[in-house]
Structure 1
Amino acid sequence: MSPAAFALCLGFGVLVGTFSGLLGLGGGVLLVPFLYWLLPQVFDGSADPEVLTVMAHATSLSVIVLASSSGVWAYHRKDAVARPTLLAMGLGAVVGATLGARAATEVPAGALKAGFGVLLVAAGLRLVADRRRRTAAAPPRGGWGLAAAGGAGTGFLAALMGVGGGILAIPFLIYAVRLDLKKVAGTSLGMIAFGATAGTLTYVLSGLGAQGRPAGALGYVFLPATLALAPGAVAAARLGAWLNQRMDVRLLRRVFALVLVVLGLRLAWLNGTALAALF
Structure 2
Amino acid sequence: MNELLVLVPILLVSGVVAGLLAGLLGIGGGIVIVPMLYHIFIYMKIDISIAMPLAIGTSLSTIVVTSIISARSHHKKGGIDWDLSKRWIPFVILGVFIGAFSSKFIDGNSLKFMFGILLLVVSLNMIISSFKSLVIAKSLPGKVGQSIFATLLGWFSSLLGIGGGTLMVPLLSLFSFPIHKAVSTASLFGLIISIPATAGYIIVGWNVENLPFASTGYINWIAFIILVPMTMFFAPYGVKLAYKLNVKQLKLAFAIFLACVGLKMILV
Q: Under a length normalisation based on structure 2, what TM-score does the superposition of the two structures give?
A: 0.90
Structure 1 residue identity aligned to 2:48: P
Cα pair 2:169 2:179 within 8 Å, conserved:
no
Q: Which residue of the partner structure matches residue 248 of structure 1?
A: 246
Equivalent-residue separation in structure 2 for 1:133 and 1:183 (angstroms): 16
Superposition pairs of residues 31-50 of structure 1, within 5 angstroms: 31-41=33-43, 44-45=44-45, 47-50=46-49
Equivalent-residue separation in structure 1 for 2:136 and 2:114 (angstroms): 34
Q: Which residue of the partner structure matches residue 226 of structure 2?
A: 228
Measured after TM superposition, the shift of residue 142 of structure 1 is 4.4
Q: Which residue of the partner structure matches residue 107 of structure 1?
A: 106
Equivalent-residue separation in structure 2 for 1:141 and 1:56 (angstroms): 33
Measured after TM superposition, the shift of residue 151 of structure 1 is 1.8
Give per-residue Cα distances to partners, 1:192-245, cap 9 Å, x unaligned: 211121111100111112233333111111111011101111221111111112
Equivalent-residue separation in structure 1 for 2:42 and 2:92 (angstroms): 30
Measured after TM superposition, the shift of residue 171 of structure 1 is 2.6
Q: Which residue of the partner structure matches residue 238 of structure 1?
A: 236
Once the two structures are overlaid, the 10-residue window that deviates more, 261-270 or 114-123, is 261-270
2:188 paired with 1:190: yes
Cα pair 1:48 1:213 within 8 Å, conserved:
no
Q: Which runs of 5+ in 2 are unaligned?
A: none
- CA spacing shift, 1:175–1:255, aligned 2, 3 Å: closer
Cα pair 2:24 2:242 within 8 Å, conserved:
yes
Superposition pairs of residues 139-150 of structure 1, within 5 angstroms: 140-142=139-141, 145-150=144-149
Measured after TM superposition, the shift of residue 83 of structure 1 is 0.8
Q: Which residue of the partner structure matches residue 275 of structure 1?
A: none
Q: CA RMSD in A?
A: 2.2
Equivalent-residue separation in structure 2 for 1:256 and 1:109 (angstroms): 25
Cα pair 2:136 2:174 within 8 Å, conserved:
no
Q: Which residue of the partner structure matches residue 117 of structure 2?
A: 118
Equivalent-residue separation in structure 2 for 1:116 and 1:182 (angstroms): 27
Measured after TM superposition, the shift of residue 149 of structure 1 is 2.6
Cα pair 1:89 1:149 within 8 Å, conserved:
no
Measured after TM superposition, the shift of residue 76 of structure 1 is 0.5
Measured after TM superposition, the shift of residue 246 of structure 1 is 2.0
Once the two structures are overlaid, the 10-residue window that deviates more, 198-207 or 63-72, is 63-72
The residue matched to 1:104 in structure 2 has which SS? helix
Measured after TM superposition, the shift of residue 61 of structure 1 is 1.2
The residue matched to 1:160 in structure 2 has which SS? helix
Superposition pairs of residues 142-221 of structure 1, within 5 angstroms: 142=141, 145-176=144-175, 178-221=176-219
Q: Which residue of the partner structure matches residue 273 of structure 1?
A: none
Q: Under a length normalisation based on structure 1, what TM-score does the superposition of the two structures give?
A: 0.86
Measured after TM superposition, the shift of residue 127 of structure 1 is 1.6
Cα pair 1:159 1:196 within 8 Å, conserved:
yes
Measured after TM superposition, the shift of residue 74 of structure 1 is 0.7
Equivalent-residue separation in structure 2 for 1:136 and 1:200 (angstroms): 33
Number of aligned residue pairs: 265
Equivalent-residue separation in structure 2 for 1:136 and 1:32 (angstroms): 30
Structure 1 residue identity aligned to 2:34: V
Equivalent-residue separation in structure 2 for 1:92 and 1:137 (angstroms): 22
Q: Which residue of the partner structure matches residue 60 of structure 1?
A: 59
- CA spacing shift, 1:171–1:40, aligned 2, 3 Å: closer
Q: Which residue of the partner structure matches residue 28 of structure 1?
A: 30
